[in-house]
Structure 1
Amino acid sequence: MIIGSFLLCYQHLFSPDEALPVQPGLFSEMVEVPLDIFNWGISSYPLTVENYLIFQNYEVLAPVAQEAKTYFFGAVIGLLVSLGIVLITTFKRYHFIGGMGLVIILLTLSGVNSLNIGSASSNFSLIILIIGFTIPGMIIHVFYEHISLLRRSLIILPIAWLTVVTLLFLSPVIKPALLFSENIGLTTLGIAAIFLLYVGHAVMGSFFLLLTKLNRGVGLKISWHLIVFTAVYLLLLLALYLHYTGSFSFPIIYPPLFPLVILAGCLGWFEVKAKLDQVPQPFDWAIIGKSLYWIGFGITAMAFWKASFTLNQPMQDFLDHWLLYTQIAMSLLFFFYLLANFLGFMNSGKPVDEVIFKPKYFAYIHMRIGSFIALLSLIVYADGVIAPQLSTSSTNFSADYYYATDRPLEARILFENSWIRYRHNSKAKVTTALLYQEENQLTLAKKQMEEAFEWDPSVAEVLLAANMAHKRNRYFDALFYLEKGLEMFPNNSYIKNNLALLYSKGNKGQQALELLNEENPYSPILANQIGLQVKHLLRIESLPAPGKDKIARINTLAYKNLMGDFTDFTMTAEARDAPLIQQAILRNQWTNQTTAPLAQDIALVDSLYSHEQQTALQQELRLTRVIRSYQAHQIGEALKYLNGLAIDFKGSAGYFHAMAAQVLIGEADIEKAANELEMAEMMGFRDFKPYHLPILYFGGKKDASFKVADKYELEFPEWIKAERDSSASSKPASAYFGHLAELNRATKADFIPSLEAMEEGPLKVIYTHEILFKKGHWLTTAEIDQLTSYLLSHEDLDSMYIHELAAIAGQQILKAPESPILQAYFQDDTPLASNPYFTPMVLMAAKEAPSTDQRYELLRNAAEFNKDAKLWLTMIQAARDLGLTGYVKTYMDELSQWVPPTKLQELMERED
């Protein structure tokens, strides 16, 4: 009893949907956030990337076979029935015959013939079971009635269990123990029905016993207490009865009835003790009656547990209905019994409790007969629904067995038949639809859900119907199911959550957030709420704290990246995380800030890539690698990977070319950026902005700039009109941008005059910094000092960074620079050539290279992007040192394309 009650309470409180799990599934959407913003004075150019927003949509999963619990249930019921038979052997003659007859009837209900011993559904199994369970008890009762209970148990229990083992051994069916444990459920229901009938007036009886004991020698009018208590109790039972029969329901949440079973069972114990003292019993020892009572209580608790953990709704409804019928009928007649026999002196203070079951006027047996008549009336009023409940419970036992033994066709047929016979049967309907779906019979699966909505769908049926419609791209059908479901279950968080996500898909962000507007939302709701606020940019100023929830933190990272802020937490992808979660953490965290060494992060993303099979997810992982490389100032690597992505994923090539253009704009390589933008347009990129037009125009793609402006209805900036219209006045911004576009290939003779010709202002400061950053190796010490002093004259600049940048421009080796910006270009005090446009740093790294081969490779990689003449001449010299004569000629031919021959000759002589 204790075990059964504990399991029942635990099942209801902690795992009510274990057999038919409803769990949040993951899906993602992307939000564009700035990875970097480049301010070139005349315009800001954002480098945007996509961050993950993870949403959780509740889905109904396939039922989970409860094999372990079913085995345990079967073993416990078998043990309790065997113990009951031991106790029955102590009954007096006629009572023993009646008891054994009842045992045989209950064993007949066990469905043991389904073990198919001898032939299909033959009676051999039942005969063996009856012999093994009853014959030893009969022999003991007839010939050895004097032996103790312990000896009876040592004889009957082993034989009973040996009988079961023999049946299971002889059975040819799959998992016979599971089949036996399932089918014994009908026997359990029979015993539970008898016990519930027995304790039908336990609450009333124990209350009256308590009143009479408290009233001894006092003489209070306890009759009024009894009348009031009875009225309240019966009215509550009647309200539950009307609700369960569908006649009338109050607008409240009705509690489950299993606490009433536990209450009645515990209170019935006090009645049992009174009956043992007052009523003649068919046994000599009181311990027999007490033990039988606790065995019945235990089996009843196990029956309720079985209905709960298998979600066998017909079985649960049968137990609930029978409980209400017996409580109402027995309590009502017992109340009349008490009034008829004790009203005259129950208030006298006499020990009425000692004779409560002894009256002759309205005898207890007559009260029982009247209760049966009332019970039948209640059954008839409920249209005899307990009959289909009982038969459908048995069908579900078989369906669960076939499902657990991987025979979906048989299980589906039985579950479908079960729902047809009894409609309040959610698990059967959901399982039928899911099994049809597994068989790829989508039309029939859809029909199952339509039928469910014609009656009284459960939450699981609402969710499944909506999800199935959504997967068929029937948006409005899914919306209909969820909105109807919300009308029936207005406080159900699962339906609210899924409906909010569906509203979001229909661009109804405000309605979606209103559904999720809870004071203390739990994990999936909280994460979805943050995600929806970021996606629709609603209530963005009051984002809830993510707490420790991982998905909420992922969405918060996306929000912080969108706003350009750092988070006060960091995230690390773990092996136990789902692949989507791992990818989202890496993307969003690396967009915000990095925490681990580059080599470690690259190894992690490469490992995830090697295990990923879906092409789309592989693409996203490679793009995440680009972001990590960019954050480490590995500009060359990032651009190479973007080029590889454009080649491997033709469908997204336009996006990758556009992203490469954004990276190149950040390095002021206007020429290559223009080439990438032109290629992006050819490959399908359409998200052009007005600030792209100057890039195309000054990058040598004037015709393309006009074409893009006309095609996408874009306006050129005012400052560039002087270049297009001779009548317009000259704009300093136009001249500045032209100089900036030429700086990559310019020599000292080009950029110094350009700098001197510029007007004072922010544009000149930017251009001066770019000269120091990219062309510092062309300058003398005095010129570097002059440019440094000019930059330091502007107080808003970082003086430490300017001083250390000047030292690098002068080719002075720095050990552990203090500026965070420049620290990224050093590893273990060694300069890195990670940014090919940071020419002084590249040349420093080349000098520190341990071998000529490595120096040449480093310079060649930088020269793929950087057209600095001195860089190329240094690379050519390294090629000569390696004897790569053919490459030397090729490089010279390429260099002469942007450096005039006379100037090239002059530079070569200076280098020599």
Structure 2
Amino acid sequence: MNKFAFWNEWEAPFQLTFKLIAGLLLATIASFLIIHWGGLSPFYYWKITGYLENLNFPIFSNHSAFIESTVSIDLPLIFQKVFGGSKSLPLGYTYAYLIVLYVSLVGCLSIATYLKKFWYYLAMGLWILLIMLSGIGKIGIFGLYDESPIILITLLFLPASYYFNSINEEVGLGWRFLIFLGLLAVTFGLIYLGSSYHEPLLFLARFSYLPAALICAIFILIIGHEIIYGILSLTTPYVKSSTNNTTHFILLSLVYLLNLMAVYLKHIGYLDWNIYYLNSFAAFTVSAILGIWGIKSREGRYGKTLPFYPYTGLLYLALAVITFATLAYQALHANDPFIESMQFLILYSHIGFGLMFFLYIIFNFINQLKQNLPVHQFAYVEDNFPYISARLAGMIVVAALFFRANYSSFYLSVAGYYNGLADLNLALGKTDAANYYYKESTAQSQLNHHANFQLAQAEKRPAHQLAYLKNATKKQPTPYVYASLGKAYENSSQFFDAIFTYQEGLRKFPKNWALQNNLALLYNKTNVADSAIYYLKNSTPGSWEQTIVNTNLKAVSAMHGLADDSDNKDLERFDLQSNALANRLVAADTSHLAFVTQPQSPVLNLFTYSYLKNLGLYCHQNKLLQYLQIIDRYENIPENSSFRKELDLIKALNLYQAGRVSAAIEIIYQIKEVEEEESGKWNTLLGKWSLEQGAPLQASKYLEAAREVYYPKASADLAQAYYQLGDQSLALFLLSKESLSNDSINPTQAAAWGKLFEAMQQNKASWKSYSFEREKQLLATAKQTTTNKRIYYEQLGIDNPYYEEGVIAAAKYFLEEEKNEELAYRILHQGISINEYSTPLIKAYIDHCLQTGLIDFAEDTLIKLYDILPKTEYEAYEMAFKTRKENAQAHLDHNW
């Protein structure tokens, strides 16, 4: 017979059943270990919070070779911090666990019907106990909340089990299982249809925590010595040629037991060596797998009650599946108190039963070991020290360790039970009930991570939130809680505590990307740029997390004027694109954009707003049109009202750059009306535009208003406006006054004022002029083309009133060629409304009004020339105007 793959000797149906259950067991083991060791519970997840920090970015500051005012705008940089969150897991996980648990229990019940009378009654008593612990009586079947549902369920299963055990023993195991499975389906149906609870099966799954925990404890105690037996099997092979069996067995067993003791001493705080400790769950997994051969080897002790083939073997697998499925389910929900309680019980069991079994072998078989005999073959046929006594002694050791820890395993398991109820209520939207159970959980285990983390998320009081988060870091911490605690400290302006928290988290979870990210941004806030760059560059998590790190790296680089060499993948993300544009703006990059992504939703968020703003600034800086092509879609959405002003400002800058000066100035006027506290900034911008457009008198009015509200260095622009007007003495007086006032405060700035003063004295001061290339090209095209003349002349007339020749030509075209007096009037009226000190435009407007019979309008406008023209020239024009007015009036009266 094959001693290892013994199941191959079984009948085909039992062999298949064994392999299927064994496969399920391996799946549950793998699931638990992967979730637990990999920290892969989906219960916790990373929450991202984005915020903007702004750089002061100059948009108009290079018109003069000397000192001038600067008009700046906020250049937004997107930063993203990470902290922990939790979520209710899909109901499918719970339903899958419920099915595995109860189908396995039904399998155990089916096998229990083969027991002899005493053991059968004992097994049925245990079944009734499990039903009572399962919480069926609490679910309110048919409105009953007492023992009635328990009695009902018991009456469903007990008669059938008694029938199989005592009346018709010929019924096969498969049929017994199917009948019990049918009764289970009836039970679930009664619960689902008759319970007063919403989602009653979810409550059943959570209430089933207690019977599942009891089965886990029984299984853990059963297999506590299996590794020692495995060492015995390994060191006492079947062949007699082996030597030193005694030494090998004792040495390996002692190494294993000493490792367990080291783990125990570490758990109770007596030992803190920087060494590798044996993992309790690794030992438990090995024990569970070895246990199937171990329980077969001691069939002689229980075989008369229930033979190994196939009943005990299948029963063992069913109990193992329940245990690991429960561990996996609780690990999936990050229920650390339960996991910790099982971990302690595993440790106690392996120490107690392992030690006693080791002594049992030594006392009974030392001579056979010395003779190199295969002791594992007859290890359960004791001589001096009865096996049952070894088991009782092992249980005493387990109890001693349990009491020594002040029942901590018990309290931890109760805390885990309350965590499950709290999670269930939270999933059902019952927040108050959930918080109540979380607090009950912390009452049983003050430092359990799960409950403290959940309470911290619900807590609004900062001090209490900090207390919960601190508690969550003390026993079974996760990187999520360190990230959340650091963020809480930052929100309370406790920056050093936040730094220490992130650093402590990184000591426990080295290279954790979220903690590195948050620590880097905290260093960035304190202007420690090299540390911020270091942590961001050393954080390489991959996937979507890497994009967040790269986004922050670009933001930090832009903020400190550093070269951006971070990854440019995932540029379709608006956060990454926005910061990439900011880097290019800071670096004065003049390259064209490879592509422009248009936000799908017209309602903007922080990221899409920042992207559009930076896109607009980049287009303005590099004379690109993409911003103007897409921005109108987002401007009139009510939800975007908080972003409207900034996006309108960027639109104005791009309109001006595109030659649509009238539309740009109109937007600035609208902004100025709303943002009165920043009138100095808007008047300075308008003044700079006017100077650039060659309208110094217009500029002086704006800049005088800016100087009155003490806009920085507005006097420098104002002096240059006076200089261009020909009033050099006033310009020099203003400069000397500013230079003297800055001499004692800022000698460097005083020197700059002095250089501008000297340049004006030597007639070397100049101001960058607008080229009017677009306007000149439009006029040339309008004159030459025979098609679409109207389009070209309309653009000439409306877009830029500072190009006087084009405005006058457009008005003349619409008046004379198209006979459209209204449009011609509107063009000229807009021109003098914006370029209000333009002599040619005012005269053209007056001429138009006289020509079209708007004599009063012409007369009202005449006074504007009084402040512009020299006195003699004005008087001559006024005399000519009176004559023309009389002629126009006579013509009007005649036609009337």
Q: TM-score range by the shorter chain?
A: 0.7 to 0.9
The answer to whether residue 674 in structure 2 is matched with residue 648 in structure 1 is yes
The answer to whether residue 868 in structure 2 is matched with residue 898 in structure 1 is yes
Change in 2 beyond 3 A, CA 1:283/1:360: same
Change in 2 beyond 3 A, CA 1:456/1:226: closer
Pick the aligned partner of 1:421 from 419, 429, 444. Answer: 444
Q: Figure out how many residues of one structure are paired with residues of the other and give that number.
A: 822
Change in 2 beyond 3 A, CA 1:450/1:378: closer
User: What is the CA-CA distance between 1:29 and the residue it aligns to?
Assistant: 0.6
Match runs of 1:379-418 below 5 Å: 379-418=402-441
Indicate conservation of the 8 Å contact 1:321/1:386, yes or no: yes
- Matched residue of 1:49: which SS? strand
C-alpha distance in structure 1 between counterparts of 2:696 and 2:83, whole Å: 50
The answer to whether residue 611 in structure 2 is matched with residue 588 in structure 1 is no
User: What is the CA-CA distance between 1:273 and the residue it aligns to?
Assistant: 4.2
C-alpha distance in structure 1 between counterparts of 2:29 and 2:646, whole Å: 52
TM-score of the superposed pair, with normalisation by structure 1:
0.78
Match runs of 1:295-310 below 5 Å: 295-310=318-333
Amino acid paired to 2:266: H
Match runs of 1:16-165 below 5 Å: 16=40, 18-35=42-59, 38-42=62-66, 48-61=72-85, 63-64=87-88, 67-117=91-141, 121-165=145-189
Tell me the residue number matched to 1:327: 350
Match runs of 1:415-814 below 5 Å: 415-437=438-460, 444-445=464-465, 448=468, 459-471=479-491, 474-476=492-494, 478-484=495-501, 486-487=503-504, 489-490=506-507, 491=510, 493-510=513-530, 512-513=532-533, 515-516=535-536, 518=538, 520=540, 522-537=546-561, 540-541=562-563, 543-548=565-570, 550=573, 551-566=575-590, 570=595, 572-575=597-600, 579-593=605-619, 597=626, 600-606=629-635, 609-612=637-640, 615=642, 617-630=643-656, 632-664=658-690, 666-667=692-693, 669-680=695-706, 686-688=711-713, 691-692=716-717, 694-695=719-720, 698=723, 715=750, 717-721=753-757, 730-734=761-765, 737=766, 773-774=771-772
C-alpha distance in structure 2 between counterparts of 1:677 and 1:297, whole Å: 85
User: What is the CA-CA distance between 1:346 and the residue it aligns to?
Assistant: 4.9
Match runs of 1:217-256 below 5 Å: 218-251=241-274
C-alpha distance in structure 1 between counterparts of 2:247 and 2:349, whole Å: 24
Comparing 325-334 and 184-193, the one that deviates more: 325-334
Indicate conservation of the 8 Å contact 1:35/1:48, yes or no: yes
Tell me the residue number matched to 2:3: none
Indicate conservation of the 8 Å contact 1:814/1:829, yes or no: no
User: What is the CA-CA distance between 1:582 and the residue it aligns to?
Assistant: 0.5
C-alpha distance in structure 2 between counterparts of 1:843 and 1:31, whole Å: 43
User: What is the CA-CA distance between 1:146 and the residue it aligns to?
Assistant: 1.2
C-alpha distance in structure 2 between counterparts of 1:270 and 1:346, whole Å: 21
Indicate conservation of the 8 Å contact 2:55/2:75, yes or no: yes
The answer to whether residue 356 in structure 2 is matched with residue 336 in structure 1 is no
Comparing 516-525 and 20-29, the one that deviates more: 516-525
Mark the runs of 5 or more structure 2 residues left unpaired by the alignment. Answer: 1-24, 786-790, 889-896
User: What is the CA-CA distance between 1:580 and the residue it aligns to?
Assistant: 0.8
CA deviation string 1:710-732 (max 9, x = no partner):
88866362354369xxxxx9321
C-alpha distance in structure 2 between counterparts of 1:663 and 1:887, whole Å: 28
Amino acid paired to 1:575: Q
Indicate conservation of the 8 Å contact 1:839/1:871, yes or no: yes
User: What is the CA-CA distance between 1:317 and the residue it aligns to?
Assistant: 0.9
User: What is the CA-CA distance between 1:385 and the residue it aligns to?
Assistant: 0.9
Tell me the residue number matched to 2:293: 270
CA deviation string 1:359-408 (max 9, x = no partner):
44444433322321222233234332112112212222222222222222
Tell me the residue number matched to 2:306: 283
Indicate conservation of the 8 Å contact 2:513/2:540, yes or no: no
Amino acid paired to 1:498: N
TM-score of the superposed pair, with normalisation by structure 2:
0.79
- Matched residue of 2:459: which SS? helix
User: What is the CA-CA distance between 1:349 and the residue it aligns to?
Assistant: 6.8
C-alpha distance in structure 2 between counterparts of 1:555 and 1:436, whole Å: 34
Change in 2 beyond 3 A, CA 1:667/1:119: same
Indicate conservation of the 8 Å contact 1:570/1:589, yes or no: no
C-alpha distance in structure 1 between counterparts of 2:281 and 2:811, whole Å: 80
C-alpha distance in structure 2 between counterparts of 1:128 and 1:878, whole Å: 102
Indicate conservation of the 8 Å contact 2:802/2:831, yes or no: yes
User: What is the CA-CA distance between 1:225 and the residue it aligns to?
Assistant: 4.1
Amino acid paired to 1:479: F
Change in 2 beyond 3 A, CA 1:203/1:557: farther
User: What is the CA-CA distance between 1:565 and the residue it aligns to?
Assistant: 0.9
Change in 2 beyond 3 A, CA 1:591/1:597: closer
Amino acid paired to 1:544: S
Amino acid paired to 1:733: K
Indicate conservation of the 8 Å contact 2:683/2:702, yes or no: yes
Pick the aligned partner of 1:183 from 196, 207, 214. Answer: 207
Amino acid paired to 2:337: P
User: What is the CA-CA distance between 1:292 and the residue it aligns to?
Assistant: 1.9
User: What is the CA-CA distance between 1:502 and the residue it aligns to?
Assistant: 3.6
Change in 2 beyond 3 A, CA 1:189/1:455: closer
Change in 2 beyond 3 A, CA 1:232/1:254: closer
C-alpha distance in structure 2 between counterparts of 1:166 and 1:206, whole Å: 46
C-alpha distance in structure 1 between counterparts of 2:776 and 2:645, whole Å: 40
- Matched residue of 1:486: which SS? helix
User: What is the CA-CA distance between 1:328 and the residue it aligns to?
Assistant: 2.6
Tell me the residue number matched to 1:746: none
CA deviation string 1:817-840 (max 9, x = no partner):
xxxxxxxxx999997964444556
C-alpha distance in structure 1 between counterparts of 2:318 and 2:373, whole Å: 34
User: What is the CA-CA distance between 1:224 and the residue it aligns to?
Assistant: 4.2
Tell me the residue number matched to 1:4: 28
C-alpha distance in structure 1 between counterparts of 2:41 and 2:506, whole Å: 17
CA deviation string 1:858-886 (max 9, x = no partner):
55545443354445555666667877665
Indicate conservation of the 8 Å contact 2:220/2:345, yes or no: yes
C-alpha distance in structure 1 between counterparts of 2:874 and 2:222, whole Å: 112
C-alpha distance in structure 1 between counterparts of 2:317 and 2:806, whole Å: 86
C-alpha distance in structure 2 between counterparts of 1:810 and 1:903, whole Å: 34
User: What is the CA-CA distance between 1:183 and the residue it aligns to?
Assistant: 1.3
Indicate conservation of the 8 Å contact 1:313/1:424, yes or no: no
User: What is the CA-CA distance between 1:318 and the residue it aligns to?
Assistant: 0.8
Change in 2 beyond 3 A, CA 1:650/1:340: farther
C-alpha distance in structure 2 between counterparts of 1:659 and 1:254, whole Å: 70
C-alpha distance in structure 1 between counterparts of 2:219 and 2:174, whole Å: 25
User: What is the CA-CA distance between 1:300 and the residue it aligns to?
Assistant: 1.6
Mark the runs of 5 or more structure 1 residues left unpaired by the alignment. Answer: 724-728, 741-765, 775-800, 816-825
C-alpha distance in structure 2 between counterparts of 1:652 and 1:135, whole Å: 88
RMSD over aligned CA atoms reads: 4.3
Change in 2 beyond 3 A, CA 1:375/1:692: farther
